[in-house]
Structure 1
Amino acid sequence: NPAFTQLLARVVKPGGFVHHWTDVADYFQMVRGLMDPHPEFVTCTPPEERDASNDMDYQTSFERKKRKLGFPIYRALWQRR
C-alpha cells in the first residue's frame, strides 16, 4: 500500500535497494504499480535468474519448491534516489 512505500522511502538509505520477488503474478504487478512510479525510487534491472547448481542452491526453500515445479519467479529491483 502507499503507506508502506512511503515507509520504504524513509528507511532505505539513498543508494540502497529494494528487491522484490514472488511467484504470484497479481501480487507482483500490484507491487510494481506502487513502486515503479514512486518518485524516491528508480526501477532497475533485477539480477538474472540462474539455474541452481545443486538442490540447496536457491535463496529460500520456497523458491526451490516453486522452481522445481516449473513456476516462474517474478523479480523487481528498485534503488533509492
Structure 2
Amino acid sequence: MFYALCISIVSCNIPLSRHGAYGYESAKAQYAPFDRLQDPDPTTRAHLARVITGTCGAGQNAYVTINNKAERSAPLSVKALAKYLCFPA
C-alpha cells in the first residue's frame, strides 16, 4: 500500500543521457519505437528508489520525471521503478 500512495505523488528530475553523442533524430531512429528497455540501469533505479522511499517515509512528497533518454522507454522505466519500489532487490 505504501507504494500505491507514494507512486501517485512521485516525481524527481535526474537527467540521464548516456548517448549524448547522437543527435536527436539519429537517436530517435536508433531507439524507436521505444518499446523495450535498451539501456537498463538497475543501479540508478535502486538509488532513485531509496531516495523516493526515504522522502515519502519522512512524510514529504517525491516527484520523479522519467523520459526515454534514460533507458530508452519511459513507460517501461516507470514500470521497472514501481516494481523495484514494491519488491526491492
The structure that is strand-richer by fraction is 1
> What TM-score does the superposition give when structure 1 sets the normalisation length?
0.33
Name the structure, 1 or 2, with higher relative contact order (CA <8 Å, separation 6+): 1
> What TM-score does the superposition give when structure 2 sets the normalisation length?
0.31
The structure that is helix-richer by fraction is 2
